[in-house]
Amino acid sequence: MSWSAADVPDLTGKTALVTGANSGLGLRTAQLLSEHGAHVLMACRSVERGRAALRTVTGAAELLELDLADLASVRAAAEQVRERTGDRLDVLVNNAGVMVPPKGRTADGFESQIGTNHLGHAALTWLVMPALRAAAGARVVTVSSIAHRNDGFDITDLNFERRRYQAGAAYAQSKLANLVFAVELQRRAEAAGLDLLSVAAHPGLANTELTGNSTRSRVGGPVGRGLAAVVRAGTRLVTAPVDRAVLPQLYAATAPEVTGGQYYGPTGPGEMYGQVGLARPRSLALDPTLGRTLWVRTAELTGVSPEPA
């Protein structure tokens, strides 16, 4: 379909929370939602970078400190969201993520990618669910990736405690978990009779900071910084600019015709580029048994009560 940011409807009176809003897709999502009238909470791990990002937003927006790799931070941020919004949140965009870093653990001992990309977002979604329940037609948009099609998912070993760590497999696992969670949340919302849509989206190949940051974190030092600059330059040649790559998640968050449980992305070759439309999820992502299993396992790992139950 031919859809652009100009097609975003008037969002006056709505409140949105965007994670990873200090750069890339998250920042552009926050900017565009704000430009169309929404009040945006920009959730950022770095307060300093968040303040710089906030200065680029022309509409109503405020900074929220959030480190998805630390469940204490997630809980504190969720409390802030409910307090600042008057317990009413219209849109949650689970956008933040890390990609193929060296083997590492979150503050709570999770493998860093599943912990940040999936567990942190799932916990946040559940903790702000009372605010989402209070908004008619609220939406939860969870950002996945074409990498979700790659091998590596093991529900019995999400934290790579038995398997040899492979950064690419861990990233693919976390992105499949994002998609499985989004679909299962829609099932649960429908079963509970909630006026809420849970959808997923992916940007295709996007020119964001993820690739350069990954290179810098893996190599480190001056060499890492130099390689990151080279990688960023190369990335620009083969990826879509942020203004185009952001459209699937922006469409999922705002378009009136969006339906729950769907997955949106570019419709060009390999879903790498192109107009926004329905993306093709891996069949495993739609498996209700896996959805239930991941839902329960996520609650066990995070210690957060799932919503809706």
Give pLDDT tens digits for 59-76: 999 999 999 999 999 999
Query: Which of the two residues, 120 and 224, has the higher pLDDT score?
Result: 120
Closest CA to 32 of 65, 57, 62: 57
In single-letter form, the type of residue at position 174 comes to S
Beta-sheet pairing, 91-94 with 61-65 = unpaired
Q: Is the pLDDT of residue 228 over 50?
A: no
Query: Which of the two residues, 211 and 128, has the higher pLDDT score?
Result: 128
3-state secondary structure of 215: helix
155-205 pLDDT tens trace: 999 999 999 999 999 999 999 999 999 999 999 999 999 999 999 999 999
For residue 264, what is the enclosing H or E element?
A: strand 263-266
67 Cβ contact partners less than 8 Å away, ≥ 6 residues apart: 45, 73, 74, 107
242-297 pLDDT tens trace: 999 999 999 999 999 999 999 999 999 999 989 999 999 999 999 999 999 999 99
How far apart, in whole angstroms, are the C-alpha atoms of residue 215 and residue 227? 7
3-state secondary structure of 42: strand
What is the per-residue pLDDT for 274? Answer: 94
What is the per-residue pLDDT for 67? Answer: 98
How far apart, in whole angstroms, are the C-alpha atoms of residue 234 and residue 109? 34
Averaged pLDDT for residues 3-18: 98
What is the per-residue pLDDT for 20? Answer: 98
270-282 pLDDT tens trace: 999 899 999 999 9
Instruction: Tell me the CA distances in angstroms from 224 to 40, 113, 156, 216, one per residue in order.
Output: 34, 20, 34, 4
What is the per-residue pLDDT for 277? Answer: 96
With cut-offs at 50, 70 and 90, classify the pLDDT of residue 78.
very high
Q: For the sheet containing 39-44, what is the strand order?
A: 61-65, 39-44, 15-19, 91-94, 138-143, 196-201, 263-266, 276-278
Which residue of the set 165, 171, 263, 264 is catalytic?
Answer: 171
The H helix count followed by the E strand count for the chain is 12, 8
| 7, 250 Cβ separation under 8 angstroms | no
How far apart, in whole angstroms, are the C-alpha atoms of residue 102 and residue 265? 28
How far apart, in whole angstroms, are the C-alpha atoms of residue 309 and residue 289? 16
**Facing residues of 293 across strands?**
none
With cut-offs at 50, 70 and 90, classify the pLDDT of residue 240.
confident
What is the per-residue pLDDT for 220? Answer: 55
Averaged pLDDT for residues 123-134: 98
Q: Report the predicted TM-score, pTM, of the whole model to 2 decimal places.
A: 0.90
How far apart, in whole angstroms, are the C-alpha atoms of residue 160 and residue 172? 13
How far apart, in whole angstroms, are the C-alpha atoms of residue 28 and residue 53? 10
What is the per-residue pLDDT for 97? Answer: 97
Q: Is the pLDDT of residue 227 over 60?
A: no
3-state secondary structure of 40: strand
User: Has 264 been annotated as catalytic?
Assistant: no
How far apart, in whole angstroms, are the C-alpha atoms of residue 188 and residue 174? 21
